[in-house]
A and B are shown apart, each in its own frame.
Chain A
Amino acid sequence: MITTDILIIGAGPTGLFAVFEAGLLKLKCHIIDALAQPGGQCTELYPKKPIYDIPGFPEVLAGDLVDNLMKQIEPFQPGFTLGERAETIEKQEDGSFIVTTSKGTKHHAKVVAIAGGLGSFEPRKPAIDGIENYEDNGLAYMIKDPEVYRDKKVVIAGGGDSALDWSIFLADVASEVTLVHRREEFRGALDSVEKVEELVQQDKIRLVTPAEILDINGDGKVESVLLQHNDEAKRMEVIECDAFIPLFGLAPKLGPIADWGLEIEKNAIKVDNTLDYQTNIPGIYAIGDVNTYPGKLKLILCGFHEATLMCQSAYQRIFPDKRYVMKYTTVGGIDGFDGSRKEAEKAVVKKIGNKQNV
């Protein structure tokens, strides 16, 4: 069982910044996210999207913002449970919570903060009958550990950055990589497309376009896929493989959180905005795009503010007898859990009235 002070559900910008604010209060955080890497939709959907309304950044790419947030929270050593969706929550007698993920990982926390954005991002699944029978048996919608594919025959489907990037990466890991895309053109970074072309020339990737996978075959696990070439003849081809990885992007779903007994309004969790973004269940907070209240604006910078107030309230909940006095980070510095310390350089103050020192 993983134990922590604040369990954050959602590793988008708001969830990540909550780690920082909690760290200033010496509260430990652990983050659960359905995606395989932190960053939420910023990383998964549009890492190259420019954002112009983050204070202090005239322009920042979504992916770079996440990288910076990860760097900012590093001293506070958050734990991560990635690639698993928060499934159930049980309130304990002492007011704490146990949250269990889709893969059965249990987390015990004094406070839960839902920073789930628009919900968990579920992979878009190709319309193949019985596809769920192969999930985790050779079929994966995201890659958590590329070593799983070492010396295996892999078929990847998709035309975006994920499909391109993983094809490139697995070209040196898998024994055979076939990239299948329904169009001739790819929607990805130009250098990735060029790299794939290069690897195709070197016979490290077999590229099949325009084509799509119609079926999966195998006895309890993926053994081959049925491919249809989208040419005039609609030629069919069976490709023997150990793994099939469709990478068609993600679609947001509120998911199991909707069944946690929280007050929901228009697909968002209602909170008490006047105080601390707490939900109707004491000890469970909702921050960022996942919440709603009068005047709500779904902006990253508003999520940062909400995360800050949530942490102050969480501190009082965890330590009801302690009085916390808010300090500016310039004055108080930052004490990381890793032993690091950051503080402002102390300026030399000249002695007043002593002309010799002037």
Chain B
Amino acid sequence: MSDIKMTIIDRDGQRHEVDAPTDMNMNVMEVCKAYDLPVQAVCGGMAMCATCQCYIISDHDLGERNDDEEAMLWEAQNVKENSRLGCQIPITENLEGLVIELAPEE
């Protein structure tokens, strides 16, 4: 298993090219935190706060939102069609080249 490359666009529009390990059971929210990007993740990754909301810019297939994620995004602000919760996206090899943008803080 190897790292994948992904791009995170922060709230100032700055692009961060980062390496994300596929063998550490990490998710996109945790990768953002590991690189000190301003993701609060108040609930710790339980899809209960939407502070890790991001927009999927690349055309990767991330699968359907699960019920918890769907419900949380119904309550969150600044939600777009391509909104996802970073904590609900596990890092896997098929995410190579993923580009995300952090949603504005509420």
B-binding residues in A (CB < 8 A): 41, 45-46, 49, 118, 124, 127, 158-160, 182-183, 185, 187, 248-249, 251-252, 266-267
Interface residues on B, range: 20 to 34
Instruction: Select one of A45, A46, A185, A266 contacting B67, CB under 8 A.
Output: A185
Which residues of chain B have C-beta atoms less than 8 A from A185's C-beta? 67, 71
Instruction: Select one of B40, B43, B50, B72 contacting A49, CB under 8 A.
Output: B43
Given contacts A185-B67, A187-B68, A124 and B75 within 8 Å (CB-CB): yes
Do the beta carbons of B75 and A160 come within 8 Å of each other? Answer: yes
Proximity bits, B55-87, A CB within 8 Å = 1, else 0: 000000000000110011011110000000000
Shortest Cβ-Cβ A-B pairs, 3 listed: A187-B71, A251-B106, A248-B75
Knowing that A187-B72, A251-B77 touch, tell me 6 more A-B residue pairs with CB under 8 angstroms. Answer: A46-B46, A124-B106, A182-B74, A185-B67, A251-B105, A252-B40
Can you list 14 A-B contacts with CB-CB less than 8 angstroms, sorted by A residue number? A45-B43, A45-B49, A46-B46, A49-B43, A49-B48, A124-B77, A158-B75, A159-B71, A182-B74, A185-B67, A185-B71, A248-B75, A252-B40, A266-B38
Which residues of chain B have C-beta atoms less than 8 A from A267's C-beta? 38
- Per the bound structure, the CA–CA distance linking A118 and B67 in Å amounts to 26
A-binding residues in B (CB < 8 A): 36, 38, 40, 42-44, 46, 48-51, 67-68, 71-72, 74-77, 105-106
A-B contact count (CB 8 A): 48
- Per the bound structure, the CA–CA distance linking A187 and B43 in Å amounts to 15
Most buried by A among B38, B51, B74, B105: B74
Instruction: Select one of A41, A118, A249, A266 contacting B75, CB under 8 A.
Output: A249
- Per the bound structure, the CA–CA distance linking A41 and B76 in Å amounts to 17
Query: In chain B, what residue has the closest Cβ to A41?
Result: B42
Which residues of chain B have C-beta atoms less than 8 A from A46's C-beta? 43, 46, 48
Query: In chain B, what residue has the closest Cβ to A251?
Result: B106
Instruction: Select one of B38, B77, B105 contacting A127, CB under 8 A.
Output: B77
Do the beta carbons of B46 and A49 come within 8 Å of each other? Answer: yes
- Per the bound structure, the CA–CA distance linking A251 and B48 in Å amounts to 11
Which residues of chain B have C-beta atoms less than 8 A from A248's C-beta? 75
Query: In chain B, what residue has the closest Cβ to A117?
Result: B42
Which residues of chain A have C-beta atoms less than 8 A from B75's C-beta? 124, 158-160, 248-249
Which residues of chain A have C-beta atoms less than 8 A from B40's C-beta? 118, 252
Q: From residue A23, how far is it (CB to closest CB) to chain B in Å? A: 29
